[in-house]
């Protein structure tokens, strides 16, 4: 299954990757997430919107709060897409190890 380009676009931003890291520990209200950043609330809201539209977070209304949680399914798709490249580099590093062993470095 091809990965949605919106997922890669969302992951390209370090602030959005940090939001995902925060959500690894469980759902958080937007205000709790905002406390971790030195940015204006509208900027954080935009980052959360991008993550939501990419399918990386879910938003739930709880009273006056919006609570965000991680949806890791798109990350599995990214991991699956990267898998052939990981095998490629493991093979290259294995070849380098063999060469270094032969040269007795």
Is the pLDDT at 1 greater than 60, yes or no?
A: no
Sign of CA dihedral 78, 83, 84, 86: positive
Q: Note the helical H segments in 24-103.
A: 30-34, 41-53, 73-103
Sign of CA dihedral 48, 50, 44, 46: negative
Contact present, 27 and 65 (Cβ < 8 Å): no
Reported pTM: 0.78
Looking at residue 2, its pLDDT comes to 65
Domain limits of the chain?
A: 3-101
Q: How confident is the model at residue 82 (pLDDT cuts 50, 70, 90)?
A: confident
For 21-61, the pLDDT digits (tens) are 999 999 999 999 999 999 898 999 999 999 999 999 999 99
Is the pLDDT at 92 greater than 80, yes or no?
A: no
CATH 1.20.120.50 for domain 3-101: no
For 5-32, the pLDDT digits (tens) are 999 999 999 999 999 999 999 999 999 9
């Amino acid at each position: 299954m091809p990965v949605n380009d919106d997922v890669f676009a969302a992951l390209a931003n370090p602030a959005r990757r940090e939001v995902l890291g925060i959500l690894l520990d469980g759902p958080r209200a937007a205000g709790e997430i905002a406390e971790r950043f030195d940015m204006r609330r509208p900027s954080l809201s935009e980052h959360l919107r991008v993550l939501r539209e990419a399918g990386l977070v879910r938003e739930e209304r709880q009273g006056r709060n919006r609570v965000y949680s991680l949806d890791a399914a798109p990350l599995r798709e990214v991991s699956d897409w990267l898998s052939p490249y990981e095998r490629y580099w493991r093979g290259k590093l294995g070849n380098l190890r063999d060469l270094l062993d032969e040269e007795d470095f």
